[in-house]
Amino acid sequence: MTVHRDLCLSSWYMTLGAYTFPTVFVPLPNDARAALAVGTNEGLEVIDMKHRLQRALRMLPGSGFVHADGCAPTDSPVFQRDNGAVSTGDGAWQMLISSTKARAAAESGETERLAMHSYRRMEPAREFRLFIHHRRPVAMSQRNLDRYYASLAKRRNDYWRQARDFALDISHLWPREHLVADVYLTSSGDFIILDLNPWGAETDPLLLLDWDRDWSEDLGLKIVPRPVKFTGNIQVSF
């Protein structure tokens, strides 16, 4: 597993913190990181981490969202059951140790801290993957590919213009020349950063389909197309 420390939340938060959720960071000592890597729920180091996570939660209004620095534990069954929300330190730890991604990040050394911010229910049609090439936004993909969103289709060009302006305004702050940013468009019309990912094969290009393409041109926002409806007398023969 390649380690991308500069793309970890605790690394880029120092310069891009104004463009993401206000976040509380929790140090992850070596023994606790080893416990996370093997997915254990026992030991004094685990008890200590649960207390630390609980303290972080008390600093936030409502439920929290826990992050493993290099990744969010979105593959965890606990995450999927609770839509990513945690209300206790124990629940946050359970979510992390049941995530293959979080355990792998801890084992590789990529995770040096845990992070917690307030939980926010996301609208799937407002999540996007933004492609930054030579510090310029060149394309964006609908993040959730489960369905066609009519509301997204209506605002497609507007959303791309907003995302492009956002990315260009902070182009000098991106930690790399080439990267992929998961972003969210808030109800107030502002884009915020959810995560940063490496450019290339390690990251799913989603509706851009393939990394082997000309990235010098403006490719705009790619969305799931409207389903095709067939009408009239349709005959099928075998």
Residues 26 and 24: their CA atoms lie apart, in Å, by 7
* pLDDT one digit per residue (tens) for the chain, 238 residues: 688 999 999 999 999 999 999 999 999 999 999 999 999 999 999 999 999 999 999 999 999 999 999 999 999 999 999 999 999 999 999 999 999 999 999 999 999 999 999 999 999 999 999 999 999 999 999 999 999 999 999 999 999 999 999 999 999 999 999 999 999 999 999 999 999 999 999 999 999 999 999 999 999 999 999 986 655 555 544 4
**pTM to 2 decimal places:** 0.91
First vs last Cα of the chain: how many Å apart? 49
What tokens appear for 187 in the block? 């109800």
Residue type, 112: E
What tokens appear for 225 in the block? 């197309």
H, E, C per residue of the chain: CCCCHHHCHHHHHHHHHHHCCCEEEEECCHHHHHHHHHCCCCCHHHHHHHHHHHHHHHCCCCCEEEECCCCCCCCCHHHHHHCCCECCHHHHHHHHHCCHHHHHHHHHCCCCEEEEEECCCCCHHHEEEEEEECCEEEEEEECCCCCCCHHHHHCHHHHHHHHHHHHHHCHHHCCCCCEEEEEEECCCCCEEEEEEEECCCCCCCHHHCCCCCCCCCCCEEECCCCCCCCCCCCCCCC
**Sheet-wide strand order for 23-27:** 23-27, 113-118, 64-67
Give the pairing of strands 220-222 and 136-142. Answer: parallel
Which residue is associated with the tokens 């009408």? 231
What tokens appear for 21 in the block? 């959720």
CA 113 remoteness from chain centre:
17
Identify the pLDDT of residue 238: 45
Domains belonging to the chain, first-starting first, are 5-118 (no CATH), 124-222 (3.30.470)
